[in-house]
Amino acid sequence: MILHKPRERPAPWKIRMGAAQWTTPFIAVEWMCEWVAFFLSNWSFLEVLEYLGSFSVLIAVIFYFSESGDRIMQRHYQAWQVINTAQGKGGSGGRIEALQELNADRVPLVGVDVSSAFLQGLDLQGANLMRSNFSAADLRNSNFTAVDFTFSNLDSANLRNARLDRAKFAEADLSNADLTGASLVGADLSDTTLDNADLTRADLRSIAWQHVKSLQGANIHEVQNAPAGFVAWALSHGAMDTPEANE
């Protein structure tokens, strides 16, 4: 902020000029500028304008914060528009960023449809994805830690090496899903359909498996940290232990 202080009256030209020399034109310009500054420093109107400028900045700041809610809503609307416009299409189409932005703002993603989308490396930790559709989506290396997939469709989803720790799959459909190398530590598989799913080398530590709906044809080859009794139960209910073709 500029502080206006009255300037001292410039010295008369005779005193300011001194002896005539080649710098006289420059001194004359400087002397005239001093007089202009002297008159302006005593003009209260300029001080009023400065106060008004500072006040306008304050008003702008107030409006900026008061409208922050509207900007957030607009951002969410645009994110949903990206997701819905690309529905049913392959590729990402900006959906990775849109989904992560909504989840970061704790927006429920209930019923979202990203079937067949290319979403490798998607990070939706703690998201509410109830009744969502991820069928045939490429979700390799994604992070779905503590996600709620209740009633969701993940048929034929590629979840290789995905993190699904503590995820809830109650009544979810994981038929034909590729869970090779996935981490399912503490996952809830109550009433989950796992028919023909590939669980090769998946980490099954502490999973809730006693009420799995079906795993007919599921491959449990080299599953890691399986709870006591799970492997025998799975094989007796139609699961298989089939090595990969290149083994």
Instruction: State how far the Cα of 240 lies from the Cα of 196, in Å rounded to an integer.
Output: 9
Per-residue pLDDT of 14-60, as tens digits, reads 555 654 555 556 666 666 676 666 665 655 655 666 666 666 776 76
Q: Using the predicted structure, report yes or no on whether residue 222 has a pLDDT greater than 80.
A: yes
Does residue 19 or residue 12 have the better pLDDT?
A: 12
Is 70 exceeded by the pLDDT of residue 202? Answer: yes
| Residue 178 contacts residue 158 (beta carbons within 8 Å) | yes
- Geometric angle at alpha carbon 242, from 239 and 243, rounded to 5°: 150
pLDDT at residue 3 tops 60: no
Condensed to tens digits (0 to 9), the pLDDT of residues 70-83 reads: 668 888 989 999 99
Residue with the two structure tokens 């979403």: 119
CB-based contacts of 76, cutoff 8 Å, min separation 6: 102, 105, 107
Average pLDDT, stretch 84-111?
90
Q: Is the pLDDT of residue 193 over 80?
A: yes
Could you tell me the pTM of the whole model?
A: 0.72
Instruction: Answer yes or no: CATH 3.40.630.30 is held by domain 90-242.
Output: no
Q: Average pLDDT in the 122-138 region? A: 97
> pLDDT tier at 171 (50, 70, 90 boundaries)?
very high
Interval 186-199 mean pLDDT = 98
